[in-house]
Chains A and B, each alone.
Chain A
Amino acid sequence: MTEVLVVGGGPAGMAATLAARRHGARVVLLEAGDDVGGQYWRHLPHGRADPGERHWHHGWDRFLALRAALRDDADCEIVTGAHVWSVDRRDGAPPLVHVVVGEPDGQGREPRTYDPAALVLATGAYERTLPFPGWDLPGVFTAGAAQALAKGERVAVGRRVLVAGAGPFLLPVVSGLLRIGTEVAEVVEAARPAQLAAGWATRPWELLAARRKAGELAGYARELAARRIPYRTGAAVVAAHGTDRVEAVTVARLTRQWAPVPGTERRIEVDAVCVSHGFLPRTELATAAGCAVGADGAVTVDARQLTSVPGVLTAGELTGIGGVDLALAEGEIAGSVAAGGTPAPGAVRERAVFRRFAARLAAAHGIRPGWQAWLDDGTVVCRCEDVTAGALRRTAELTGSRGLRSLKLTTRAGLGLCQGRTCGRTVEDLLTGADGVGLLDPGRTAHRPIAIPVRLGELSDSTRTRNREDLP
């Protein structure tokens, strides 16, 4: 039997695990949290189950069926609390995968090393938030944080909240906030109607095939209308105000290129703001494994979800941002291929449909460069090291350096705790714009050989290797 190792228990990883099992492989599924489901099906933990859980989710029955199939299967091992911290490349074989199992950021976690015959990476995405003055004030959250706290904790991030950024993800976030009893002051979408129309209104017949998704979005729109929550397009939060936490935000209208239009500023009193401008593939394990990455930062795959490294496949947001349906289809294909099988034609068709949907999403809500105009010199860009936009631009000008690496070392941007996960793309964009000639080595901020922090004691302990023969 082939042993397949799947990293990530979200929709893509679950679908891959099930497909690989269907094709006869033994599978180990590694999940960092204490249950599968990923960000999309994030739910209350086992001991605190809510009988009304299904009302918080789309496709909850599908999740329950997937999870039950995996749990009831003796040849599938789900390892929760599994934190992959590094992968070792090898010639002609998938890499060794090093894991510590236990509490997040704990100590004395159990080290394990896997030596799989095929590796499926389904590590998902990070949210991207463009900076603005005051975005580092407590009370500014990513939209994903508000969603995670509502769905996974039933905790509201504020009493009166503004939701802002770009993309349809803002809508389920509003829905979650309303369900938890939060007042939503407004929803502010950066794309102007023309940009939205260019993405969504052309070739409408293509959308027919994805009508499940369209129906979901229409449901959210009805919810906004019923609650009389304004949904404004062509506008953005350009500042947050407060001393120890957010007390108000300034919203301004935007040009087509997302530059604020002077004189259009409005101040809105809120105690929290949730912001999201899209997502970035979470590529550190794929990059460490040596997988080729495209200009958009997503891992390059062929029609079988195979990466440039033998035996390594990827599925879901890691190959490009496309949502749950695309993740499920890609997972199904990747799992089948990883187990030596042929992907089902249905999954291949679904993938094509939802890739077109993803392309529309990018066209309708993709970030435009004018946002840089809403940063002032004092705006913090790198939150971990408190590096400002002014410091970044000045350093680029003064040193005349075009190397991202040297600019990072001089300014410390991207060198802090999060290793550039939050600011990396923004730093690249700002530096590229600073001298007008672009960077010598773009894309480097996403390179993180150690994927998560590990304690020194655990490192010295982690030499024990779990071989293929030892897999259950």
Chain B
Amino acid sequence: MTRIRIEVDGDQVPGLAGQTIAAVLLADGRAAWRRTRTGRPRGVFCGIGACFDCLVTVNGLRDVRACQRRAADGDKVDLQEDDRD
């Protein structure tokens, strides 16, 4: 099994090749990594790409579903907040 590392908000987080970004974050003990318009925390909810609760920014690209995207070694993952109105 190939070990990988991704950078999450500046932290080095270990994972396995083939895991989704959500799986890497959950296995690292993180439950929440996004905030909604009113500031409520969110992580994985549906796990199958339907709810969009798990969005992250990957290598500068916003709005990537962490439960759908496989993590690649060296990925830079930034947590994101919805725009407040």
A interface residue numbers (CB < 8 A to B): 32, 34, 39, 44-48, 103-107, 126-127, 136-142, 144-149, 152-153, 155, 157, 244-245, 380, 383-386, 416-418, 421-422, 453
Contact = CB atoms under 8 A, between A and B. Distances in A.
A228 to B, nearest CB: 27
A146 B50 CA distance: 14
Interface in B16-56: 16-20, 22-23, 26-27, 31-32, 36-38, 40-53, 55
Contacts of A384: 36, 52-53
Nearest to A49: B18
Contact of A383 (B23, B27, B51, B67): B51
Contacts of B51: 142, 383, 418, 421-422
A142 B27 CA distance: 18
Contact of A136 (B16, B26, B42): B42
A45 B26 contact: no
Contact of B40 (A136, A152, A157): A136
A364 B68 CA distance: 33
A153 B68 contact: no
Contact of A47 (B17, B20, B47): B17
A114 B1 CA distance: 38
Contacts of A380: 40
Nearest to B61: A107
A104 B69 contact: yes
B69 to A, nearest CB: 5
27 contacts: A45-B18, A45-B70, A47-B2, A47-B17, A104-B64, A105-B61, A105-B63, A105-B68, A127-B48, A127-B50, A138-B32, A138-B42, A139-B31, A149-B22, A149-B23, A149-B44, A153-B19, A155-B19, A245-B31, A383-B51, A384-B53, A385-B36, A385-B37, A386-B38, A418-B50, A422-B45, A453-B63
Contacts of A386: 36-38, 40
Given A245-B31, A245-B32, A417-B55, A141 B42 contact: no
A105 B52 CA distance: 11
Contact of B46 (A46, A105, A385, A422): A422
A155 B26 contact: yes
Contacts of B20: 152-153
B76 interface: no
B46 A149 contact: no
A149 B31 CA distance: 13
A329 B19 CA distance: 32
Nearest to A124: B48
Nearest to A147: B47
Given A103-B69, A155-B26, A383 B53 contact: yes
Contacts of A244: 31-32, 41
Contacts of B63: 105, 417, 453
Q: Closest 6 A-B residue pairs measured CB to CB?
A: A145-B47, A104-B68, A417-B52, A138-B31, A138-B32, A48-B18
A127 B36 contact: no
Interface in B53-85: 53, 55, 61, 63-65, 67-70
Nearest to A107: B61
Contact of A145 (B16, B36, B45): B45
Given A104-B64, A145-B46, A155 B55 contact: no
A153 B55 CA distance: 18
B76 to A, nearest CB: 15
A45 B37 CA distance: 35
A242 B16 CA distance: 30
Given A139-B31, A155-B23, A421 B42 contact: no
Contacts of A48: 1, 16-19
B48 A44 contact: no
Given A39-B48, A149-B22, 6 more contacts: A45-B70, A48-B1, A142-B47, A245-B31, A418-B53, A422-B45
B56 to A, nearest CB: 10
